[in-house]
Amino acid sequence: MKIASYQELKNWQKKCQNNKNYKINVLVCTGTSCLSSDSQTLVEMLESALESHNLQVEIKVIKTGCFGFCGQGPMIKIEPDEITYVKVKVEDIEDIVENHFLKNTTVKRLLYKEPGQTKLLEKSSEMQFYKKQMRVALRNCGEIDPENIEDYVLNDGYFALAKVLENYSPDEVIKIIKDSGLRGRGGGGFSTGLKWELTRKSPGNEKYLICNADEGDPGAFMDRSILEGDPHSVIEAMIIAGYAIGANNGLIYIRAEYALVTERLRRVITDARKYGLLGKDILGSGFDFDIEIKLGAGAFVCGEETALIRSMEGFRGEPDKKPPFPSQAGFRGKPSNVNNVETFANIPVIILNGAEWFAKIGTKKSKGTKVFSLVGQIRNIGLVEVPMGTTIKEMIYDIGGGHPEEREIKAIQIGGPSGGVITKEYFDTQIDYDSLVEMGAMMGSGGIIVMDEDTDMVQIAKFYLDFIQDESCGKCTPCRIGTKRMYEILERLVNMEGSPEDLNSLRTLGRIIKDTSLCGLGQTSANPVLSTMKYFPEEYEAYAYKTKKTKYSIDPKKCVGCTKCAKACPVECIEGKIREPHIINESECIACGSCYEVCPVNAVIKP
């Protein structure tokens, strides 16, 4: 069936609604995180149990994308009751079917309870994690079957495309996006509408529209979750963008290890073509646009748009100097526009609701919402979408729930390996592009890693430099050699082999790399070191002046001689008799922390 007009799309939507004759929908998260916790098995067991009770006609099991609250997964949401069950295991399925569906009784032991509270919460909307969120880019994630095009159409999918093709010229579409204030969600924060305009104005009949789905930051999973949970929104947005800039060819560049995303994208692209929403003469408008998937090898530098383009062309993924910019000469030397997944996910809803609606969300210079992955020493790990201008404190304590063991949180790392550290003194800062840059950090793609009072900031900087120098493409000397030398200095320091002069060398090297590197990766590669040196100079000095205690020890007054630490030690450096205080041989200790983790009386002292 080919949909050839707005009215035909509307009629199809009504037909889809009539097909949804189930009394109850059981939504089960099948994002990567929950799939790793047997959510696919939960789906199969639910379907089998419902069939055995002859309930499959009334109750439909729907595989969705990520609900966001990853720390409580796998989650199951039952509509229209709006009952949400958390941390569901295989052995819980029989109980859910027997009690919830047959006896109409809520399974209370699977309901969520806020830490320190006694009240059981039935609805996800009652959970503190969701209260300050505003789901725009994530609007369909956890709400629809991402592989079912009818589910997407029921949620006004492809109506933004139909509206554009029937009512707006390409220039009018660009004006809407410019007026909305949408900025690129991939890191730099460049105006999306202006980027489209520059590509449209570039001379040439052959142009390309590129979706950057090469998400490489450690701890970041925003784009992956959007593509897993709502891939049609990105496809629809790409068609709209292609129409606006004058491109007939779309490319999605995605790392090959994102197997689930790739599988779902291929499925939805096929379905969009089947219904005339992609390919030739889209919706009877005469506009042609098709999409091809390009798989990358997982190089972090290929998140930079010129390196990404070279990789798609079959060359080594290395950045090119600018100008010319991709909007002038990109893929195959033709004008090309590159936006990331989250940027595209905002487009359809902006078209449907209007530029003014979107522009009212957020701050004066940073409009709309932003999706973050919230990980690290935080109680509520997950995917979070909040209006721009939300403070770091709200993110960490209101949404994130604070530290799981009530320890002090001393800093966050934001913006991935190229980002920076923000300390607790600045947690009242609003999260927007400009505020973060002023503090020496950056928005990046949106990864936030929370660190507590026990985190060694020099070790954190070393971890990121290890990643960055390994991922450097090697094209320019400052990044290739400079990051390697910075890492070597950090390695000397943490091995207690450094000197005070090393601190000056780190600062000098960091500034030179920042000023002279070719691309954004190199220019921001020193941020983890420079920001931690700025806010935590005493931790660097402790290593440089060799006053840092780097080994674990045991408090003889607390030790009860249970021997658990000795049994857990991988290098057998702990000695002591049963029921007598134990001793750590510090010369052999590798500071792995195993003894600290297993001690039942808190007798092990952390360095």
Q: What is the DSSP string of 109-130?
A: GGSEE-TT--PEE-SGGGSHHH
pLDDT, position 345: 97
Structure tokens that stand for 479 in this block: 């990044």
Write down all domains in the chain, each with its CATH number in brackets: 22-127 (3.40.30.10), 149-357 (3.40.50.11540), 369-452 (3.10.20.600), 457-544 (1.20.1440.230), 549-607 (3.30.70.20)
pLDDT, position 597: 86
> 105 exposed, middle or buried (CB, 10 Å; 0-12, 13-18, 19+)?
exposed
Confidence of residue 208 (pLDDT cuts 50, 70, 90): very high
d(CA 192, CA 174): 9
The answer to whether residue 561 scores a pLDDT higher than 80 is: yes
Confidence of residue 525 (pLDDT cuts 50, 70, 90): confident
Q: Which residue has the higher pLDDT, 459 or 231?
A: 231
> 539 exposed, middle or buried (CB, 10 Å; 0-12, 13-18, 19+)?
buried
Confidence of residue 522 (pLDDT cuts 50, 70, 90): confident
Q: What's the average model confidence in pLDDT over 9-20?
A: 86
d(CA 244, CA 344): 13
pLDDT, position 590: 73
> What 3-state class would DSSP assign to 257?
coil
The answer to whether residue 469 scores a pLDDT higher than 80 is: yes
What's the Cα-to-Cα distance from 509 to each of 481, 516, 519, rounded to whole Å? Answer: 10, 11, 17
What's the Cα-to-Cα distance from 362 to each of 132, 179, 344, 368, 398, rounded to whole Å? Answer: 13, 14, 18, 5, 18
Query: Residue 578, by phi and psi: left (phi above 0), alpha (psi -120 to 50) or beta?
Result: beta
376 and 219 Cβ atoms separated by less than 8 Å: yes
pLDDT, position 607: 77
Structure tokens that stand for 96 in this block: 């859910």
pLDDT, position 520: 80
Confidence of residue 409 (pLDDT cuts 50, 70, 90): very high
39 and 74 Cβ atoms separated by less than 8 Å: yes
Q: What's the average model confidence in pLDDT over 207-213?
A: 96
Structure tokens that stand for 606 in this block: 């952390």
The answer to whether residue 398 scores a pLDDT higher than 90 is: yes
The answer to whether residue 581 scores a pLDDT higher than 90 is: yes
The answer to whether residue 333 scores a pLDDT higher than 90 is: yes
Summarize pLDDT for 237-284 with one digit per residue, the tens.
999 999 999 999 999 999 888 889 999 999 999 999 999 999 999 999
- Least confident range from 59-63, 205-209, 589-593: namely 589-593
Residue the block writes with tokens 């020890």:
553
Summarize pLDDT for 152-194 with one digit per residue, the tens.
999 999 999 999 999 999 999 999 999 999 999 987 789 999 9
The model's pTM: 0.90
d(CA 479, CA 477): 6
Neighbours of 314 (CB within 10 A): 7
Q: Which residue has the higher pLDDT, 332 or 445?
A: 332
Q: What's the average model confidence in pLDDT over 353-366?
A: 95
Structure tokens that stand for 298 in this block: 């997982």
Q: Which residue has the higher pLDDT, 36 or 289?
A: 289
Confidence of residue 108 (pLDDT cuts 50, 70, 90): very high
Residue 166 sits at φ, ψ, to 5 deg, of: -90, -25
d(CA 578, CA 575): 10
The angle formed by the CA atoms of residues 400, 536 and 412, to the nearest 5 degrees, is 15
- Least confident range from 23-27, 77-81, 170-174, 547-551: namely 547-551
Structure tokens that stand for 314 in this block: 């079959």
